[in-house]
C-alpha cells in the first residue's frame, strides 16, 4: 500500500487499521509496519451497518494527510469477512471484533477456565456465517499429558478422556482441532507455520492463554499475561484493546480481550443449521424443506443425532440458539 498526492495536494493513501483506542485509530500500510495515528471527522458509516464500531481492526481504509502530519480516515473498503457478535446492551446493534482475517484460532481449555461448549458453538456459527476459517486450539495440553499434578486437580487420565471426547466431537463436525502447550512447546512450531504471512486472530475466554500463545510465537511482543483467579477459576483480562501486532516469523496477529459470552447476531430459524457443517451434510435428506430439525417428521438431522453421527451436545447447542432469549451472558472481561 503506497501513498499518493490527492487532487488538492494533500497526501493520500490506503492502510489497514491495526488498533482502535476510542476516538483514535492506528493505521499501517501493510505489509510494511509503519503505524501512524488517524482520526475520523464526522459520521463515517458502512453502508447498512448497525455496528457499534463501524471501523474495526483489520479494516482497509483510505486516508488523507496534511502538512502538519495529521491523518483523517475518509473511506472504509468492503470487508472480505469479519467476526461479529451482538453488542453488550443486547440491542439490535452488533460489535465487530475484527475484519479481513485469514484465520481465527479459537482458544479453549478444559479447565482453569473450564470450557463452555455453548460459547464455542456460538463462536463457530459466527465464523461459518461470515466466512472466516477457524481452527480450535485446545490449549494447556500439558495438564493432561502427565506434567501437572496437585490437590484438587483432575487425574491425567480423566482429563485426557475429556480431551479425546472434545476433539472427537469437533473433528467429526468438520473442524480442525489442534492441541497446544506453551509450557512444553507442543505444536508451537506448527502454529507458527500456520500464522506465517497471514493475518490471524486469537480469541477465547480470559485465562485460556491467548497472550501466552502469541508470546510463544514471538517473544519480542511480550504481551501481558495474568494468573487464573483461584476464587472463581477464571482468567483476569490482560488485553484491553483489539490490537494487531507484526510477527517476526512473518504475518500479523490480532490479540483480543477475553470474552465471557458470545451473543449471536440475528439468524433466521431456517438458516441456523446451515452454519453447523455436520447438519448441512445431511439436511438435504429431510422430508420437509425448510426444516428446523425440531418437531418435523422425517428429519435427517434428528435421525443422525439418534444414530450418533451428530453429537447430542452440538444438537443441544443448536436448540439453545433457536430458543435464544437473550439470557446468554454477554460482554468482554
The pairing of beta strand 103-108 with beta strand 134-138: parallel
Backbone angles phi, psi at 86, to 5 degrees: -65, 140
Asked if residue 160 and residue 128 are part of one domain, the reply reads yes
List the chain pLDDT tens, one digit each, 333 residues: 766 554 444 689 999 999 988 778 999 999 999 999 999 877 665 555 566 778 999 999 999 998 888 999 999 999 999 998 876 555 567 888 999 999 999 999 998 899 999 999 999 999 999 999 999 999 999 988 755 544 445 557 889 999 999 999 999 999 999 999 999 999 999 999 999 999 999 999 889 999 899 999 999 998 765 443 333 333 343 445 789 999 999 999 998 876 655 667 667 888 999 999 999 999 999 999 999 999 999 999 999 999 999 999 999 999 999 987 444 444 444
Kindly compute the dihedral angle of the four CA atoms of residues 186, 212, 177, 241, in this order, to the nearest 10 degrees: -160
Asked if residue 108 and residue 40 are part of one domain, the reply reads no
Burial, 111: exposed, middle or buried (Cβ in 10 Å; 0-12, 13-18, 19+)? middle
**Do 68 and 185 have their domain in common?**
no
Distance from C-alpha of 236 to C-alpha of 140, rounded to nearest angstrom: 17
The phi and psi torsions of 73 (rounded to 5 degrees) equal: -75, 130
Q: At which of 23, 51, 78 does a domain end?
A: 78
Residues 294 and 245 in one domain: no
Range of the domain at 285: 272-322
Question: Cα 291 vs. chain centroid, distance in angstroms?
Answer: 29
- Reading the block at residue 104, the C-alpha cell is 481465527
Structural contact between residues 199 and 211, judged by C-beta atoms closer than 8 angstroms: no
Strand duo 176-179 + 134-138: pairing: parallel
Let me know if residue 299 belongs to a domain: yes
Residues 230 and 184 both lie in one domain: yes
- Let me know whether 249 and 278 are in one domain: no
Amino acid at each position: 500500500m503506497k501513498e499518493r498526492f490527492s487532487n488538492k495536494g494533500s497526501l493520500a493513501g490506503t492502510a489497514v487499521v491495526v488498533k482502535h483506542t476510542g476516538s483514535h485509530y492506528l493505521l499501517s500500510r501493510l505489509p510494511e509496519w509503519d503505524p501512524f495515528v488517524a482520526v475520523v471527522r464526522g459520521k463515517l458509516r458502512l453502508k447498512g451497518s448497525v455496528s457499534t464500531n463501524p471501523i474495526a481492526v483489520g479494516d482497509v481504509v483510505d486516508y488523507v494527510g496534511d502538512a502538519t502530519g495529521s491523518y483523517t480516515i475518509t473511506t472504509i473498503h468492503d470487508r472480505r469477512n469479519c467476526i461479529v457478535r451482538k453488542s453488550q446492551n443486547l440491542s439490535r446493534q452488533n460489535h465487530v471484533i475484527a475484519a479481513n482475517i485469514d484465520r481465527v484460532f479459537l482458544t479453549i481449555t478444559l479447565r482453569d477456565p473450564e470450557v463452555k461448549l455453548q460459547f464455542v458453538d456460538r463462536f463457530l456459527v459466527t465464523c461459518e456465517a461470515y466466512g472466516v476459517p477457524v481452527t480450535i486450539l485446545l490449549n494447556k495440553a500439558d495438564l493432561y499429558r502427565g506434567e501437572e499434578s496437585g490437590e484438587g486437580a483432575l487425574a491425567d487420565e480423566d482429563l485426557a478422556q475429556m480431551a479425546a471426547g472434545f476433539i472427537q466431537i469437533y473433528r467429526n463436525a468438520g473442524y480442525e482441532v489442534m492441541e497446544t502447550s506453551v509450557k512444553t512447546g507442543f505444536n508451537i512450531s506448527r502454529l507458527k507455520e500456520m500464522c506465517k504471512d497471514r493475518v490471524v486472530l486469537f480469541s477465547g475466554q480470559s485465562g485460556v492463554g491467548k497472550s501466552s500463545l502469541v508470546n510463544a510465537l514471538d517473544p519480542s511482543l511480550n504481551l501481558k499475561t495474568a494468573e487464573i483467579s483461584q476464587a472463581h477459576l477464571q482468567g483476569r483480562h490482560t488485553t484491553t484493546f483489539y490490537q494487531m501486532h507484526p510477527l517476526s516469523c512473518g504475518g500479523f496477529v490480532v490479540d483480543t480481550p477475553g470474552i465471557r459470552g458470545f451473543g449471536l447476531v440475528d439468524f433466521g430459524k431456517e438458516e441456523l443449521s446451515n452454519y453447523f457443517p455436520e447438519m448441512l451434510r445431511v439436511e438435504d435428506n429431510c422430508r420437509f424443506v425448510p426444516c428446523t430439525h425440531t418437531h418435523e417428521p422425517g428429519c435427517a438431522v434428528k435421525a443422525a443425532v439418534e444414530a450418533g453421527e451428530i453429537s447430542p451436545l452440538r444438537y443441544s447447542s443448536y436448540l439453545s440458539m433457536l430458543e435464544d432469549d437473550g439470557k446468554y451472558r454477554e460482554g468482554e472481561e
